[in-house]
Amino acid sequence: MNASAGGNAAFVEFEHVQKSYDGENLVVKDLNLSIAKGEFLTMLGPSGSGKTTCLMMLAGFETATHGEIKLSGRPINRIPPHKRGIGMVFQNYALFPHMTVAENLAFPLEVRSMGKSERDAKIRRALDMVQMGAFGGRRPAQLSGGQQQRIALARALVFEPELVLMDEPLGALDKQLREHMQFEITRLAHDLGITTVYVTHDQTEALTMSDNIAVFNDGRIQQLAPPAMLYEEPANSFVAQFIGENNTLLGVVQEIRGDVAVVRLDDGELIDAKPVNVSKPGERTKVSIRPERVEFNKARLQPGAHTLKAEVLEFIYMGDIFRTRLLVAGNDEFIVKTRNAPDQKRLQPGQQIEVGWLPSDCRALDA
């Protein structure tokens, strides 16, 4: 898989990188990936997809079985972790419990033989960056989880690395704090111009924070793209299902005319879709439609929209939106999300309705 994240010259490069722990099964399969300087790239995927292994190889804690990893054009496979000049933030913070906050931050500076006055200045600056200037004398046990995470972030930034790696750093935090820290980390990374490689299995986090997202599955990058493109234009059915909520209807391609695939759904209905990875009539396909692209208010349907019959199974009020579960073309998990607006109909289970969407909003993907 060749994947180039940014248009600039590559700062981080994986060239034909493979990783096996047992000599037989590849955890990472022929990875080619370029990351531009100053870019915030997220490696996203389910457990066991290879994303954390890639991060650990870049950090130097794992060795590539095959291929080359480069930093600023320089091969780093044989350079030990402490000489790579990379900042790291882990989920468990990895702070030294017997040291104060300031001593934790001093550690990476002492390793680099930095003088005391320069050390103190850098520690003050790093603590101010994460709004923890008053906490230098405390020990980690005297801090909340969110405060510990800020200190772990400050320690990764204190020696001013050009590259920071983060492995599920917000996994232990509650939802509200997690969302706040997402914006803090993104703002800091962009303000400081740091190249960031971030690993998570949380798609909302990835969509919120990243310049580009590499979606991993089974040791390979399935798609590499900016968040909006990944969501709006998934390259295959794995990405469509993994990123956000998605409706699928099963069928067979009848014909392909330019950028329109005519699909006969399994219940016999014919619909048009954008052919993404189908190439010929007779192929099985999963047609993918996002829940917010479906409309059941006829007044709001645009010209050229498809309509299909549907039965209401569940109607849930969620404050800002309504979430409706329908039976459509044999799929009883077909979801529609609609804004809570004065003209939006409230539906009852058992009600027979029609739903519609534009052909350009649905994609014929691999089955």
Tell me the CATH number at 9.
3.40.50.300
Is there a single domain that holds both residue 317 and residue 255?
Answer: yes
Which residue range(s) make up the domain with 42? 2-237
Closest Cα partner for 203 from 188, 218, 213, 195?
Answer: 213
Question: Which pLDDT tens digits describe the chain residue by residue (367 residues)?
Answer: 456 555 457 999 999 999 999 988 999 999 999 999 999 999 999 998 999 999 999 999 999 999 999 999 999 999 999 889 899 888 776 788 999 999 999 988 888 888 888 888 989 999 988 888 889 899 998 998 888 888 988 988 888 889 999 998 888 778 888 888 899 889 989 998 999 999 998 999 999 999 999 999 999 999 999 999 999 999 999 999 999 899 999 999 999 998 899 999 999 999 999 999 888 999 999 999 999 999 987 778 888 888 899 999 999 999 999 999 999 999 999 999 998 988 777 899 999 999 999 999 999 999 8
**65 and 85, same structural domain?**
yes
One domain for residues 229 and 250? no
pLDDT score for 5: 54
**Among candidate residues 219, 237, 255, the one where a domain is terminated:** 237
Q: Return phi, psi of residue 114, to 5°.
A: -90, 140
Residues 200 and 291 placed together within one structural domain of the fold: no
Look at residues 364, 329, 355 and name the one whose alpha carbon lies nearest to residue 257: 364
**pLDDT for residue 93:** 66
Same domain, 58 and 153: yes
Tell me, yes or no, whether 229 and 270 share the same domain. Answer: no
Residues 192 and 66 in one domain: yes
- For position 341, what pLDDT does the model report? 85
pLDDT of residue 2: 52
> 174: which DSSP letter?
-
Provide the pairing of β-strand 260-265 with 270-275: antiparallel
Q: Within this chain, do residues 83 and 168 fall inside the same structural domain, yes or no?
A: yes
Q: Distance of CA 285 to CAs 149, 233, 266, Å? A: 45, 16, 10
Neighbours of 339 (CB within 10 A): 10
The predicted structure's pLDDT at residue 36: 96
Assign residue 333 the CATH number of its domain: 2.40.50.100
From 237, 268, 299, give the residue that closes a domain. 237
User: Which of 237, 255, 272 represents a domain boundary (last residue)?
Assistant: 237
Q: Tell me, yes or no, whether 123 and 212 share the same domain.
A: yes
Residues 91 and 224 in one domain: yes
Does residue 294 sit in the same domain as residue 211?
no
Report the pLDDT value the prediction gives residue 227, as an integer from 0 to 100.
96
Which residues 6+ apart lie within 8 Å of 274 measured at CB?
259, 260, 261, 359, 360, 362, 363, 364
Number of domains into which the chain is organized: 2
Q: What pLDDT was estimated at residue 298?
A: 78
Please report the pLDDT score of residue 146 as a whole number: 85
Asked whether the beta carbons of 285 and 366 are under 8 A apart, the reply is yes
Position 206 scores a pLDDT of 95
For residues 194 and 58, state if they share a domain.
yes
